[in-house]
């Protein structure tokens, strides 16, 4: 076979390999893509601190808050010691909102709390989430792109992610800042429950870096 005859065959093979590489890259990107506001919230199944299996799907038809937490984080303690987060949980679960606290801290981390201890801490802080979920493998946290504790999300009754970001507008560990900060979660929930679009649907989260399992 001459060089001129083999050139088209080589070109076709090169094009095919490029297409395969592009497809693989696209699939890899999709596998690691974080949840996006305006898109369906990633489905999940996790066990809560009492050992019960919980899914996002079981709460379809209700507004759901996802709160990434870690008791070892001073930013989390700011919002619990001040009763800010327990107050939000109580306020909105009374309005039929589902509130799920999620702990994605890996077991090897020094501030990891096993389920019973985490449940006891939540109770001691007067926390009233619908459930506290264990995500030690980090799969759910990574699916949502959760980066900090706290990192907050709101899912509407249709299962669409409508808010992602910080709990409020002042990125500090000082409890005194809570009073002057804009509470994005309260604002977003009040708007969503009133049937309005969330005015600030995406904000910058702040807090401690989540200690994911590597």
Q: Is the pLDDT of residue 12 over 70?
A: no
pLDDT digits (tens, 9 = 90+) for 66-110: 999 999 999 999 999 999 999 999 999 999 999 999 999 999 999
Q: Are residues 59 and 4 in the same domain?
A: no
Handedness of CA 170, 173, 177, 183 (dihedral sign): positive
Q: Are residues 103 and 5 in the same domain?
A: no
Average pLDDT value for residue range 138-144: 98
Q: Are residues 128 and 79 in the same domain?
A: yes
Q: Which of 32-46, 89-103, 130-144 has the lowest average pLDDT? A: 32-46
CATH code, domain carrying 58 = 3.40.30.10
Q: Are residues 45 and 141 in the same domain?
A: yes
Q: Which residue has the tokens 């409508």?
A: 162
Confidence of residue 14 (pLDDT cuts 50, 70, 90): very low
Rounded distance between C-alpha atoms, residue 98 and residue 129, angstroms: 8
Return the percentage of the chain with pLDDT > 70, whole number.
85
Q: Is the pLDDT of residue 5 over 80?
A: no
Q: Is the pLDDT of residue 117 over 80?
A: yes
Other residues' Cβ atoms within 10 Å of the Cβ of residue 115: 17
Q: Are residues 39 and 14 in the same domain?
A: no
* 214 lies in some domain: no
How many residues comprise the chain? Answer: 214
Q: Work out the mean pLDDT of the chain and round it to a whole number.
A: 89
**What residue numbers bound the domain in which 28 lies?**
1-33
pLDDT digits (tens, 9 = 90+) for 167-214: 999 999 999 999 999 999 999 999 999 999 999 999 999 999 999 999
Query: Total domain count for the chain?
Result: 2
Q: Are residues 19 and 55 in the same domain?
A: no
Q: Are residues 47 and 113 in the same domain?
A: yes
> pLDDT higher for 25 or 72?
72
pLDDT of residue 33: 58
Q: Are residues 55 and 129 in the same domain?
A: yes
Shortest CA distance to 51 belongs to which of 122, 120, 131?
Answer: 131
pTM: 0.84
Q: Are residues 39 and 119 in the same domain?
A: yes
Q: Are residues 176 and 150 in the same domain?
A: yes
Q: Are residues 1 and 83 in the same domain?
A: no
* 180 lies in some domain: yes
* 62 lies in some domain: yes
pLDDT of residue 127: 98
**Is the peptide bond preceding residue 101 cis, with omega within 30 degrees of 0?**
no
pLDDT of residue 197: 96
- 155 three-state secondary structure: strand
* 118 lies in some domain: yes
* 137 lies in some domain: yes
Query: Strand 208-209 to strand 161-165: parallel, antiparallel, or no bridges (unpaired)?
Result: unpaired
pLDDT of residue 9: 43
Q: Are residues 133 and 148 in the same domain?
A: yes
Helix axes 184-193, 84-93, angle to 10 degrees: 10
Q: How far is CA 165 from CA 56, 65, 206, in A?
A: 19, 12, 8
């Amino acid at each position: 076979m001459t060089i001129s005859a083999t050139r088209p065959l080589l070109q076709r093979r090169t094009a095919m390999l490029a297409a395969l590489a592009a497809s693989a890259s696209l699939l890899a990107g999709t596998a690691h893509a974080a949840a996006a506001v305006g898109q369906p919230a990633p489905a999940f199944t996790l066990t809560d601190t009492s050992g019960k299996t919980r899914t996002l799907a079981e709460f379809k038809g209700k507004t759901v808050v996802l709160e990434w937490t870690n008791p070892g984080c001073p930013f989390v303690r700011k919002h619990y010691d001040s009763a800010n987060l327990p107050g939000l949980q109580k306020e909105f679960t009374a309005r039929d909102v589902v509130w799920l606290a999620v702990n994605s801290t890996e077991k090897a981390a020094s501030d990891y709390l096993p389920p019973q201890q985490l449940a006891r801490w939540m109770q001691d802080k007067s926390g009233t989430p619908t459930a506290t979920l264990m995500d030690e493998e980090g799969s759910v946290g990574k699916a949502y792109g959760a980066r900090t504790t706290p990192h907050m999300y709101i899912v509407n009754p249709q299962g669409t992610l409508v808010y992602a970001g910080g709990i409020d507008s002042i990125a500090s560990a000082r409890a005194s800042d809570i009073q002057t900060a804009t509470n994005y979660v309260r604002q977003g929930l009040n708007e969503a429950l009133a049937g309005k679009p969330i005015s600030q649907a995406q904000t910058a989260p702040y807090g401690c870096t989540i200690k994911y399992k590597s």
